[in-house]
Amino acid sequence: MHNLWRLRGYLRPHVTEFCWLLVAGLTATAAGLAVPLLVQRVVDGPLARRDSAGLAQFGGLVLLLGVVEAALIFVRRWTQTSSSVGMEAAIRADLYAHLQRLPASFHDRWQSGQLIARATGDLSMIRRFLSFGLLFLILNLATYLAVVVLLIRLHPALGLLVAASAVPLFLISRRFARAYHAAARRMREQQGDVATLVEETAQGIRTTRAFGRGPVLAVRFGAGARALHDTAVGKSQLLARTSALFDLVPNLTLGVVLVSGVAAAARGTLTIGELVAFVSLQLMLIWPVNSLGWIIANGQEAATAADRIQEVLDTPPTITDRPHAVVPRRADIRGRLCFEQVGFGYPGGAVPVLRGVELTVEPGETLALVGATGSGKSTLLSLVPRLHEVGTGRITLDGHDLRDLRLAALRQLVGMAFEEPALFSMSVRENLTLGRPDADDEEVRAALALAQADFAYDLPWGLATRVGEQGLSLSGGQRQRLALARAVLCRPAVLVLDDPLSALDVHTEALVEQALRRVLRGTTALLVAHRPSTVALADRVALLDQGRIAAVGTHSELLATEPAYRALLALEPATTATPGAAITVEEPTATRGPAIVVEGPPATRVTTMASPVVPAGGGLVGLVAGVEPVDGVVPS
Ligand SMILES: Nc1ncnc2c1ncn2[C@@H]1O[C@H](COP(=O)(O)OP(=O)(O)OP(=O)(O)O)[C@@H](O)[C@H]1O
C-alpha cells in the first residue's frame, strides 16, 4: 500500500470534494441506520398501543429518511466520478511527461506494451479504487463500527458476539489480500506482455505477412492470452471463494443472534421492537461484509497498479539540465563541434561502443562518418543531441560542454534526421514543423523543395494529409525526404544526418544531394555515409573502426592511404535503378511462368520477381509479397 499512499498528493486538489463525499456518504449511512431504530419505536410504541396517528407520524419520518438517504447517495455518486477522473488525468499527464524525460536507454529496455498498460489499465485501477473502493472502505468501516456500538447498546451480550465475528473476518481478509496481490501483479504483467505482442504484430504486420509467419505469431499470442486467461480465472476463483466465506460469517452470526434473540424475547429480557431493530441493524452489516472481498481486491489491484506506475516514476531521468545550464543565443553559435576523448557504452554492454573519439568539425564544415556496420556511427551521432550521454570525455559546441547547455536549447541547435525516420500519425505539416511550430508556408515550401519532397503537395489533402502510424502510408524514400525537410526546417547550427538518403533512388538522391550541398555550405554537418555519392558531399571524412577514429582526411586522401576505407566503399553494391523504369507483366512461356518485368536500359532489365527495381513510392514489392491489397491479379 506504500506506493498507493505516495500518490496522495494527487488527492490534494480534490480534498474538499472528497470531504463532501464523505459527509454525504456518512450522513446517508446515518439516515439508513436510523430506520431500524425508528422501527423499534414503532413496534414497541404506536403498534403495541394500536395508535394509528402515531404510526402515520413515524411512517412519514421513515419516508423522509429514505428520501434524504437517496438524495445523498445521488450527490455522492455524482461528485465521486468527476474527482477520481481528474486525479487519473493528473497522474497520467505526469507519467507521460516523465516518460518524455527518460533517456533513450530506458525506452530501449522497456517494452512499449508495458508502458501502454501502465498509462491506461493501471491508471483505471487506481481511479476505480479512488472513486469506489476507498470511499466504500471508509463508509463500510464506519457503518460496521456504528452498528456494533448500537447493537452492544441494544443487547450487550449479542452485540459483543457480533463484534467478535470481526476476528475471523480480519484473518480471512489478511490471507486473501496477500494471495490476491500476487495474482493481480501477475495479471497486470501478463496484460502488458499481451499488449506488447499486439503492438509488435501491428507494427511488423508487413514483415510477418511477407514471411507468412502469421500462424507462428498467433501461436505465441495464443500462449500469452491463455496465460492471462488462466491468471484471470484463478484470480476470480480466489475472490469467489473468499466472498463465500465473507457471506458465511455474518449469516452464521445472524442465525445465532436470531435463536438467542428469540429466547431472550421469550424470557422478557428483550422487547419485540428491540429484537426487530437488532436483526434489522445486523442485516445492514451483510452488504459491508459481503463487499469486503471486492473492496480488498480493488485495493490490491490499485496497490499493484501504484507499484507499477511508481516503477516508472522512480526511474530518474539521467539526461537532465545541469543547475547552471545556459541558453546560448543562436546568433552567437558558429557551430564548432569537438569530440574530446569521447567514450560510450550501452548499459549492460560487454565492451564500450566508442573509445577515445577525438574529432573536430569546423563551423560550416561537412564531415562524413564512414565505418563498417556496427562500428558505432549512429551511436556517435546520437551523443550530439544528447539522446545518450557520453560516458567519458566530452563534446563541445563552440567551447561549451554540451552538458552545460539547456537540453531544450541544444535540441533546437541540433537538427537530426535518422535513417529510419519516425513520423507521427498527424498531418504532413505537423510532422514537418515538429521542431519549428512557427515556420510559415514559405519556409515549409523551401524545406520540402530542398529535400525533393514536393510530392507532399500532391497527396490527397496536400500538407493536411494525415500520414498513418509511423508514416507507414508513405514509402521509405518519401519518409526519409520528409524527415530531411523536418531537420533543415529547424535552421539548426549543427545538422546530424544518419545516412538520410539510403532509401532514395539514384535520380532522387542526386537531386537531394544537389540541394543539400547548398544547405550544408552554411551549416556544420556530421553525416553517416555508406555510398561514395554521399561521401562526396563532405569536406572531410572520418573513418570509424570498432569505436575508434582510425583516420581523418579528404575522400581522396583516405582512398589513397586507407585500405579499410577503400574496401568499405568498394563493397558498395552496383546501382541498378533507372529513372522512369517501365514495369510490365509478361505472359508465361514454355520455359517459365508469368513474370514481372522491370525494364530500363538493357543492362538493368530485370525479369525475376525477387529483385524488382522500382522508383521510390512504387509499392510493387508490397503487392508481390501479398502485404497490400491489389486491384486485379499479381500472377505468381
Ligand atoms: N540501444 C542499444 N542498446 C544496446 N546496444 C546497442 C544499441 N544500439 C546499438 N547498439 C550496439 O552498439 C554497436 C554500434 O551500433 P551503431 O548502431 O552505432 O552502429 P552503426 O555503425 O551505426 O551501424 P550501421 O551502419 O549498421 O547503422 C552495435 O554493436 C550495436 O549492437
- CATH number at 139 reads 1.20.1560.10
Task: Name 181's Cβ contacts closer than 8 Å, sequence gap at least 6.
Answer: 300, 303, 304
348 lines ligand 1 (CB under 6 A): no
Average pLDDT over residues 320-340: 88
pLDDT above 90 coverage of the chain, percent: 14
DSSP-derived 3-state class of residue 578: coil
Query: Is 435 found in the same domain as 543?
Result: yes
Helix axes 52-101, 286-313, angle to 10 degrees: 10
- Smallest CA separation from ligand 1 atom 16, residue: 376
370 lines ligand 1 (CB under 6 A): no
**Distance (Å, rounded) from C-alpha 613 to C-alpha 309?**
49
Neighbours of 120 (CB within 10 A): 12
pLDDT at 115: 87
Question: Mind listing the pLDDT tens digit for each residue in 554-611?
Answer: 988 888 888 888 888 764 443 333 444 444 555 555 544 445 444 444 433 444 333 3
Query: Is 526 found in the same domain as 614?
Result: no
Question: Mind listing the pLDDT tens digit for each residue in 421-439?
Answer: 778 888 889 988 888 888 8
What is the whole-number distance in angstroms between the Cα of residue 376 and the centre of ligand 1?
6
Query: Is 543 found in the same domain as 502?
Result: yes
Question: Mind listing the pLDDT tens digit for each residue in 267-282?
Answer: 888 888 888 888 888 8
pLDDT at 497: 87
Quote the pTM value: 0.66
Task: Name 356's Cβ contacts closer than 8 Å, sequence gap at least 6.
Answer: 341, 342, 343, 393, 548
**Distance (Å, rounded) from C-alpha 311 to C-alpha 510?**
49
pLDDT at 46 over 70: yes
Out of 357, 375, 528, mutate this one to test ligand 1's pocket (max ligand atoms within 8 Å of CB): namely: 375
pLDDT at 470: 66
379 lines ligand 1 (CB under 6 A): yes
Question: Mind listing the pLDDT tens digit for each residue in 192-223?
Answer: 888 888 888 877 777 777 777 778 888 888 89
Among 252, 287, 313, the domain boundary falls at 313
The complex's ipTM? 0.96
Task: Name 553's Cβ contacts closer than 8 Å, sequence gap at least 6.
Answer: 540, 541, 561
Question: Mind listing the pLDDT tens digit for each residue in 150-195?
Answer: 889 888 888 888 888 888 888 988 888 888 888 888 888 888 888 8
pLDDT at 634: 55
376 lines ligand 1 (CB under 6 A): yes
pLDDT at 201: 82
Query: Is 114 found in the same domain as 49?
Result: yes
pLDDT at 611: 39
pLDDT at 254 over 70: yes
Q: What is the span of the domain harbouring residue 605?
A: 582-624
Total domains present in the chain? 3
Question: Mind listing the pLDDT tens digit for each residue in 483-537?
Answer: 888 888 888 889 898 887 776 777 777 777 776 776 777 789 998 988 887 888 8
Helices (H), 102-165: 104-109, 112-117, 123-128, 134-154, 156-164
Question: Mind listing the pLDDT tens digit for each residue in 306-325?
Answer: 998 999 999 988 888 888 88
Average pLDDT over residues 410-425: 82
> Which of 160-164, 224-228, 403-407, 615-619 has the least mean pLDDT?
615-619
Query: Is 618 found in the same domain as 507?
Result: no
Question: Mind listing the pLDDT tens digit for each residue in 448-470?
Answer: 888 888 888 988 888 888 887 66
* DSSP bridge pairs for 595: 586
Neighbours of 609 (CB within 10 A): 19
State the sign of the Cα–Cα–Cα–Cα dihedral 351, 352, 354, 356.
negative
Query: Is 174 found in the same domain as 115?
Result: yes
DSSP-derived 3-state class of residue 451: coil
Shortest-distance atom of ligand 1 to CA 530: 25
Q: Is residue 410 part of a domain?
A: yes
pLDDT at 381: 93
Among 547, 570, 593, the domain boundary falls at 570
355 lines ligand 1 (CB under 6 A): no
pLDDT at 200: 80
Average pLDDT over residues 392-398: 92
**Distance (Å, rounded) from C-alpha 309 to C-alpha 187?**
15
> Which CATH number do you get for residue 443?
3.40.50.300
* DSSP bridge pairs for 528: 369, 498
Among 281, 313, 345, the domain boundary falls at 313
Residue whose C-alpha cell reads 527495381 in the numeric block: 613
Query: Is 465 found in the same domain as 593?
Result: no
Neighbours of 549 (CB within 10 A): 20
| Dihedral class, residue 320 (left if φ above 0, else alpha if ψ from -120 to 50, else beta) | beta
Computed over every residue of the chain, the mean pLDDT equals 81
Query: Is 593 found in the same domain as 467?
Result: no
Query: Is 118 found in the same domain as 234?
Result: yes
Task: Give the phi and the psi of residue 541 in degrees, each rounded to 5.
Answer: -130, 140
pLDDT at 125: 87
Our CA angle for 371, 374, 379, nearest 5°, is: 90
Task: Name 297's Cβ contacts closer than 8 Å, sequence gap at least 6.
Answer: 180, 184, 239
Query: Is 266 found in the same domain as 160?
Result: yes
373 lines ligand 1 (CB under 6 A): yes
Query: Is 590 found in the same domain as 566?
Result: no
Our CA angle for 101, 104, 109, nearest 5°, is: 115
What is the whole-number distance in angstroms between the Cα of residue 380 and the centre of ligand 1?
10
Q: Is residue 575 part of a domain?
A: no
Answer yes or no: are the C-beta atoms of 594 and 587 closer than 8 Å.
Answer: yes
Q: Is residue 629 part of a domain?
A: no
Nearest to 577 by CA among 555, 601, 557, 554: 601
Q: Is residue 120 part of a domain?
A: yes
Question: Mind listing the pLDDT tens digit for each residue in 400-409?
Answer: 999 999 998 9
**Distance (Å, rounded) from C-alpha 302 to C-alpha 3?**
10
Q: Is residue 631 part of a domain?
A: no
Neighbours of 166 (CB within 10 A): 15
Query: Is 287 found in the same domain as 420?
Result: no
**Distance (Å, rounded) from C-alpha 123 to C-alpha 120?**
5
pLDDT band at 69 (very low <50, low <70, confident <90, very high): confident
Q: Is residue 634 part of a domain?
A: no
108 lines ligand 1 (CB under 6 A): yes
Task: Give the phi and the psi of residue 355 in degrees, each rounded to 5.
Answer: -140, 125
Q: Is residue 94 part of a domain?
A: yes
* DSSP string covering 195-252: HHHHHHHHHTHHHHHHHT-HHHHHHHHHHHHHHHHHHHHHHHHHHHHHHHHHHHHHHH
Q: Is residue 577 part of a domain?
A: no
pLDDT at 338: 94
